[in-house]
Amino acid sequence: MASPISANKAELLAIANAVASEKMIDKAIVIEAMEEAIQKAARARFGQENDIRAKLDPVTGDLRLWRVVEVVEEVEDYFKQVDLEQAEKLEPGSKVGDFIVDPLPAMDDLGRIDAQSAKQVIFQKVRDAERERQFEEFKDRAGEVITGVIKSVEFGHVIVNLGRAEGVIRRDQQIPREAARVGERVRALILKVERNNRGPQIFLSRAHPEFMKKLFAQEVPEIYDGIIEIKAAARDPGSRAKIGVISHDSSIDPVGACVGMKGSRVQAVVQELQGEKIDIIPWSEDTATFVVNALQPATVSRVVLDEDESRIEVVVPDDQLSLAIGRRGQNVRLASQLTESQIDIMTEEEASEKRSAEFAARSKMFEDELDVDETLSQLLVAEGFVELEEVAYVSLEELATIEGFDEELAEELQSRALEALERQEAAFREARRELGVEDALADIPNLTEQMLLVLGKAGIKTLDDLADLATDELIAKRREAPRRRQSADGPPMRRPQRTEDKGGVLGAFGLTEEQGNEIIMAARAHWFEDEEEAAPAADAPTQAEEAADAESSQ
């Protein structure tokens, strides 16, 4: 009958071999864990204060225990230090500062408690090693489609067994109304992998547009080979989806290749997505053409692009409005996601009413500000003028070429436009002074009185207030102002933009990043001027020094 120690050694070695094989972990890691566990058990028996080391033979299971002690002249810690006399007995020739090995007697029996403690230490280290291996295996696989078996459903989240790890499909990443049954195989996209104290968290998705793109790559060889590219994708999971495709080979039809013979390829994807209807649309570099394609099956009459505001106005016939919008706005919503722009749908009648209202408003503005009759103001709007700055700073020759205009009339209109701008500037100046905005801000380049009024309403009234801002807080990032015309002798004309998401106090004025930096640095310049005035000149003599010099000269 084997002794208790040999039985324990055999048991621990068997555990090491089994765990290393099952968890696919290097056996050396398990042996290291066992040695750490035996060291813990030995400290419990011989004293926790001792520096005890253990070495376990991975083949025979033979165990060596020893205590490491330091040779010192005067012993302060009797557990970890020895004097020269004791050191000579342990290892002849030792000297102060050496670390020597003090063998410990073999442990005849690990004991049930010690063995159990050792197992716990081993399993913990193995568990940590397994988690690290899982993370290393999956950390670079985000965006890959993987197949697993549904293990359980907890609070609406689906736990998927991926073989050597587990992933989770959260409720918001599942296809609506899709039944998840334990034991069924499921395909999903690896969305992201995060390190966690309890092991790697592998988040899966079946609702992400990238999942649909990967499925098409599996079903359509041309996409896998790169001949056809999916440029954009948008999904309403479980209901409808749109993809924009383009072919890099003129002889291959991208839509036909994705549909397949009798729809076999697209149907395979539809079946995996639980019957989700997929519109395959030819992608185009021309935004207007792509928008028309994206709104299929609706017919589009006209597309108006506003690149400054990333908005698209689409005009459709009255009988196509409901089709273009789709049920609960689904069609236009997917088209907006596909084109990454906001799409506004309107009928011919609504578009006509909007144009008429804008035309009337601009005509009225020119009529009031320039003191001209209705016919002349309407003629200016018809020629594309929308602001006073355009009339004031456009070249005289261009203004005089308008039918019915001559050079004298053009000069008079420009003079009146400049006067109107001066009146507006004076009104802005008076309003910002009432708010308490310092006149010193008016000397900063690139700032107009209207901008100063906006700053004052935002609580920025002094140079220090402005200097404390970052450029991003002042203007929209890397956003160029729209320029309709450039005067030969006047300043560039900026038109306030109408979007809300500007990212800065003066974002609506379209200032460039360079102009924003110049404004901030000009506001901060007074800091250095104040420091120079406050600091006394190093070479200027004091009054006492001057008096002493005068007295010595006498």
The full DSSP string for 370-415 is HT--HHHHHHHHHTT--SHHHHHHS-HHHHHTSTT--HHHHHHHHH
Query: Which pLDDT score, from 0 to 100, does residue 490 have?
Result: 40
The token pair that represents 406 in the structure block: 């001559």
More confident residue, 195 or 11: 195
Q: How confident is the model at residue 210 (pLDDT cuts 50, 70, 90)?
A: very high
Check whether 551 has a pLDDT greater than 70.
no
Work out whether the CA dihedral 363, 366, 368, 370 comes out positive or negative: negative
> Strand pairing partners for 242?
234, 279
Computed over every residue of the chain, the mean pLDDT equals 79
Give the span between the Cα atoms of 351 and 341, in whole angstroms: 19
SS3 assignment, position 501? coil
Give the span between the Cα atoms of 65 and 107, in whole angstroms: 9
Ramachandran category for residue 257: left, alpha or beta (phi over 0 → left; psi -120 to 50 → alpha) = alpha
The token pair that represents 38 in the structure block: 């035996």
Give per-residue burial for 57-80: e unless 16+ CB within 10 Å, then b.
eeeebebebbbebbbbeeeeeeeb
Q: How confident is the model at residue 553 (pLDDT cuts 50, 70, 90)?
A: low
SS3 assignment, position 341? coil
Query: Which pLDDT score, from 0 to 100, does residue 492 have?
Result: 39
Q: What percent of the chain has pLDDT over 90?
A: 18
Give the span between the Cα atoms of 429 and 495, in whole angstroms: 19
Query: Which pLDDT score, from 0 to 100, does residue 155 have?
Result: 87
Give me the mean pLDDT over the 111-120 stretch: 61
Check whether 229 has a pLDDT greater than 90.
yes
Check whether 489 has a pLDDT greater than 70.
no
What would the pLDDT profile of 26-37 be if each residue is shown by its tens digit? 667 777 777 777
Reduced 3-state DSSP string for 287-317: HHHHHHHHCCCCCCCEEEEECCCCEEEEEEC
- Classify strands 81-82 and 52-56 as parallel, antiparallel or unpaired: unpaired
Give me the mean pLDDT over the 170-179 stretch: 90
Give me the mean pLDDT over the 425-432 stretch: 87
Give me the mean pLDDT over the 275-300 stretch: 89
Q: Which helix (H) or strand (E) holds 131?
A: helix 112-138
Q: Which of 197-201, 325-329, 367-371 has the lowest mean pLDDT?
A: 197-201
Check whether 113 has a pLDDT greater than 60.
no
Check whether 548 has a pLDDT greater than 60.
no
Query: Which pLDDT score, from 0 to 100, does residue 400 have?
Result: 81
What would the pLDDT profile of 58-93 be if each residue is shown by its tens digit? 776 666 777 777 778 777 776 777 777 777 767 776
More confident residue, 390 or 199: 390
Own/partner pairs, 254-262, CB within 8 angstroms, 24+ separation = 254/222, 254/228, 254/280, 254/282, 254/283, 255/280, 255/281, 255/282, 257/220, 257/222, 257/223, 257/228, 258/216, 258/220, 258/223, 258/228, 260/219, 260/220
Maximal C-alpha separation, the chain: 123
Query: Which pLDDT score, from 0 to 100, does residue 37 have?
Result: 72
Q: Taking a C-beta distance cutoff of 8 angstroms, is the pair 513, 521 a contact?
A: no
The token pair that represents 463 in the structure block: 């140079």
Q: What is the pTM of this model?
A: 0.60
Q: Taking a C-beta distance cutoff of 8 angstroms, is the pair 216, 230 a contact?
A: yes
Q: At what angle do helices 374-382 and 348-370 cross, to 10 degrees?
A: 120
> Strand pairing partners for 146?
188
Give the span between the Cα atoms of 378 and 355, in whole angstroms: 13
Check whether 531 has a pLDDT greater than 70.
no
Query: Which pLDDT score, from 0 to 100, does residue 51 have?
Result: 74
Q: Which of 274-278, 453-457, 500-504 has the lowest mean pLDDT?
A: 500-504
What would the pLDDT profile of 119-173 be if each residue is shown by its tens digit? 677 677 777 777 777 788 888 888 889 999 999 998 889 999 988 788 899 999 9
Q: How confident is the model at residue 230 (pLDDT cuts 50, 70, 90)?
A: very high
Give me the mean pLDDT over the 505-524 stretch: 83
Amino acid identity at 384: G
Check whether 116 has a pLDDT greater than 70.
no
Query: Which pLDDT score, from 0 to 100, does residue 450 have?
Result: 84
| Residue 90 CB partners (closer than 8 Å, separation 6+) | 69, 82, 100, 101, 102
Check whether 537 has a pLDDT greater than 70.
no
What would the pLDDT profile of 6-16 be if each residue is shown by its tens digit? 445 666 677 67
Query: Which pLDDT score, from 0 to 100, does residue 545 have?
Result: 53
Could you tell me which of 192, 215, 216 has the C-alpha nearest to residue 205? 192
Query: Which pLDDT score, from 0 to 100, does residue 513 have?
Result: 82
Q: Taking a C-beta distance cutoff of 8 angstroms, is the pair 515, 544 a contact?
A: no
Query: Which pLDDT score, from 0 to 100, does residue 358 have?
Result: 85
Own/partner pairs, 176-179, CB within 8 angstroms, 24+ separation = 176/237, 176/238, 176/239, 177/238, 177/274, 178/206, 178/238, 178/274
Q: Which of 137-151, 270-284, 537-551 has the lowest mean pLDDT?
A: 537-551
SS3 assignment, position 146? strand
Could you tell me which of 504, 527, 508, 530 has the C-alpha nearest to residue 517? 504
> Strand pairing partners for 69?
100
